[in-house]
Amino acid sequence: MDFIRLAAVFTAIQFVRYILFAGFTYIVFWKLKNNFTEKNRIQKNNFAKKDLRREFLYSVSNCFIFGFILAISFYDRQIDIFNLKMTASYLESIGWIIFLILFHDTYFYWMHKTLHHPKMFNWTHKVHHLSKNPSPFAALSFHPLEGVLEVIWIIPISRIFPIEMGAWAIFGFIIIGINVLGHLGVEIYPGSWTKNKFLKYLNTSTNHNDHHNYYHGNYSLYFSAWDRWMGTFRK
Ligand SMILES: [Zn+2]
Ligand SMILES: [Zn+2]
């Protein structure tokens, strides 16, 4: 497969993954409104139509950027690109997925915090923060430059480490799930988890929603550990 075709295939996968997760959660939590949403919604006001449209259009444009970067990352491995069958043991595969999550969590925290620097914010991250009350469609709503920064780390990591496509694919679904969860607008975790010694480190939807609402603090993605260690955690 030539490079352009590979980029097109990755773009299509990104788009389907985004529509499935953002569309499904939007319909379940916000279209078929239910008591759970009403009881656990984070902000009182509803999503504005213009915000939904902007979030969708920026997210779709980022599917192209992600597709292009993924094609660069995996072009050399195209023989096995759609072979998701894992030859490594379960333990090794799970180990690689945990590695990807921890690496990405660290990368994301520092990249995100850097983009909040006044000299960076206006020409990169401002687009994502146009959503003060984000919907699930904001999951990939980034300025194109930020879109590149969101995934550029995959180029070196995919070349340095022998991670199988199956593990990358599972990671790809975890990350879109985490992104949509952060922008869900509804808190689905029980309140008691925030008091648990271990579970309190899971980033909640409220954590990221507060980040959109107040701009500062809660920069992390999967876990709140970096925020807690660096004193940027909003209580
Ligand atoms: Zn931010
Ligand atoms: Zn966000």
3-state secondary structure of 57: helix
* Cβ 128 vs Cβ 138: under 8 Å: yes
What is the chain's percent helix, strand, coil content, to nearest 5? Answer: 70, 0, 30
219 Cα–ligand 1 center, Å: 6
216 Cα–ligand 1 center, Å: 7
112 Cα–ligand 1 center, Å: 6
Token pair for 61: 């444009």
* Closest listed ligand to the CA of 131: 2
* Closest listed ligand to the CA of 116: 1
Cβ neighbors of 181 (< 8 A, separation 6 or more) are: 188, 205
* Closest listed ligand to the CA of 115: 1
* Closest listed ligand to the CA of 113: 1
79 Cα–ligand 1 center, Å: 38
Instruction: List per-residue pLDDT tens for the chain, 235 residues long.
Output: 789 999 999 999 999 999 999 999 999 999 987 889 889 999 988 899 999 999 999 999 999 999 999 999 999 876 667 777 778 888 999 999 999 999 999 999 999 999 999 999 999 999 999 999 999 999 999 999 999 999 999 999 999 999 999 999 999 999 999 999 999 999 999 888 888 889 989 999 999 999 999 988 999 999 999 999 999 998 7
213 Cα–ligand 1 center, Å: 10
User: pTM of the entire structure?
Assistant: 0.93
90 Cα–ligand 2 center, Å: 32
**CA-based radius of gyration for the chain:** 18
